[in-house]
Amino acid sequence: YLETRESINRDKKIKKIDQVITSLEQNKKTLKGYLINNSDSIYFAQWSDDIKKADYILNNAINYDELSIENERLSNVVLNYEKIQKAKVDANFTINELKKILKENLTTDFAPLLIEQVKNLEKAIKKETIEDIISADKIAKEFIFKNFEEPKLKAAEEKRIADAKALEEYKKSPEGIKEEEERVK
């Protein structure tokens, strides 16, 4: 019975170790893909070092904890890259929106400001720092809202209010009163 229990426990531990090794190898493979697809990235040297360190730990780990810690570290590197990619996608969408607005406002005073917003976003994307990308994207979106969307919203609200007032005035006019009386009948 004890031997069977010990064998079951050993198998569970081996399975757990195998899962961490598989995950570590997958994270390593993902980083290699980043190296291949992003050879101009500022993180290129870090990723290369991360892969070397992961290889060393895979080949020389003394215990489960070493494997687990390295897997967690590599998982965080992968997650950070994915967050940066998502922020880049959002920033590129904002750049496209700014360029579309620029086409419509090429001869206005907004043109230089729009160009500046595009340049700031492009600089942030090149830095590949998530905080910079998110910050520049937020600033650009606020710029778009404040200068282009908010005035449209205010104009629509003012038109709605004016239409409501005109309707009230019409209801007070002789034609409006007559129409209301007929509607009630």
Question: pLDDT tens for residues 19-56?
Answer: 999 999 999 999 999 999 988 889 999 999 999 999 99
What is the rounded distance in angstroms from the CA atom of residue 116 to the CA atom of residue 122?
Answer: 10
132 vs 177, higher pLDDT: 132
Structure confidence by residue, pLDDT tens digits, 106-120? 888 999 999 999 999
Residues 6+ apart with CB under 8 A from 23: 71, 75
128 vs 176, higher pLDDT: 128
The pTM (predicted TM-score) of the whole model is 0.76
Q: What pLDDT score does 177 carry?
A: 80
What is the rounded distance in angstroms from the CA atom of residue 66 to the CA atom of residue 109?
Answer: 59
What is the rounded distance in angstroms from the CA atom of residue 76 to the CA atom of residue 91?
Answer: 22
Strand segments, DSSP code E, in the chain are none
Percent of the chain with pLDDT over 70: 100
Angstrom CA distances, 51 to 26, 57, 61, 173, stand at 11, 10, 15, 81
